[in-house]
Amino acid sequence: MYKIMLVINANKPDIFSMDFACRIANLAQTELTGLFIENVYFEYLPDSIDGGSYFSTSKEANSKVTSDTDQSIRLFKEDCLSKGIKPDIIHDRGEPIQEIIFESRFADLLIIDPEISFYNREEPLPSHFVKEVLMKAKCPVMLAPEKFGGFEEIVFCYDGSASSVFAIKQFTYLFPELHDKKVLLLEVSRDVAERFTGRYQRMMDWLRNHYRTVYFHSLCGEIKEELFHFFFMKRAMFVVIGAYGRSMLSNFFRKSNADILIRTVDLPIFITHH
C-alpha cells in the first residue's frame, strides 16, 4: 500500500482522526496524504442517500469557518513529522463529495472521521456525508475511532457473499504486515442449522494461508442485534465489513442503530465493496 488518504475538513480538523491515520501510515510504512476539503461554494443539505446531490449554493458558507486552512495544514504536517511520517497535501475547494470521490480513485485507502460533515448542525452517526462517501468511494474506506490504543485481533464479518470475501481479501492485501495478528471469522445466522457450511471452510482455509491464528465464531439471531452485542465495549479489535448498503451486513449501519453503534463501538472499521 502506497497511498493512504485522510479526509479533513479544512476548517474543522479532527485531531483524533489525524492521530489514527498516522498510526495506520506507520503500520504500512508509507507517507500520509491529507485531503483538505474547503467547502467554499456549497453547503451540505442532508436528504436520502438514494437521491441526488446534497449540495446547494450558500452565501453563508464562508461565515461558518472555524479554523484557518493554512493553520490546519500546518497542524497536520507537524503531527505527521513528529511521528516520523512524510506528509503530503491535497487542497481542494468545491463540492466536498465530488472532490473526495474523485481523489479516492487514486488512493489505496481512504480514512475518514464518521462525524465529519459540512453542514452546521448536529447529525446522527455516521453523518449523511460519510454515508455517501461509503456508498460511492472508489477505494476501501476506514472509519477512524475516537480513541485508538492499538489492536490485537482482526474481526472479519462474513455472510458468505462475494462482497464479504472481496472485503476480506482487500484488507489482507493492503495490510500484509498483520499476518501475525489473531483473526476471527464472524458469522451471524438466523438459523442454527446453517452454521459452518463448506463456504466457511473454504474461507477459513484461505485465511490460514495469510494469517497465523484463525478462529471461527457463529452467532444466531438478528444481525443488527448480535453484531451490536458482540462488539459492545470491545477494545483492541479491527472490524472488516463488506458491501456497505448492499448486503445483510449493512444492518450494522441502519439509521435506527447508527448513533448507538458508532458511539458505543469505538473501533476502527474497514468497509469496501466492488
Q: Rounded CA gap, 182 and 189, in Å?
A: 23
The confidence score (pLDDT) of residue 203 equals 93
Q: Rounded CA gap, 245 and 59, in Å?
A: 33
Q: Rounded CA gap, 126 and 111, in Å?
A: 14
The DSSP code for 182 is E
The identity of residue 16, as a single letter, is F
Q: Could you tell me the three cell numbers for 108?
A: 489505496
Determine the 3-state secondary structure of 94 from DSSP: coil
The confidence score (pLDDT) of residue 229 equals 85
The confidence score (pLDDT) of residue 65 equals 41
Structure pTM?
A: 0.84
The confidence score (pLDDT) of residue 246 equals 52
The confidence score (pLDDT) of residue 245 equals 55
The confidence score (pLDDT) of residue 52 equals 41
85 touches 22 (CB < 8 A): yes
Question: Which residue carries 489482507 as its cell?
Answer: 172
Tens place of pLDDT per residue across the chain (274 aa):
899 999 999 988 999 999 999 999 999 999 999 999 987 654 444 444 444 433 333 334 333 345 688 999 999 999 999 999 999 999 988 788 889 999 999 999 999 999 898 776 677 677 888 888 988 899 999 999 988 888 999 999 888 888 889 999 999 999 999 999 999 999 877 766 455 567 788 999 999 999 999 999 988 887 777 888 888 888 899 999 876 655 544 555 554 444 455 556 789 999 887 7
| 73 to 7, 10, 250: CA distances (angstroms) | 12, 8, 34
Q: Rounded CA gap, 56 and 39, in Å?
A: 11
Max CA separation in the chain (angstroms): 59
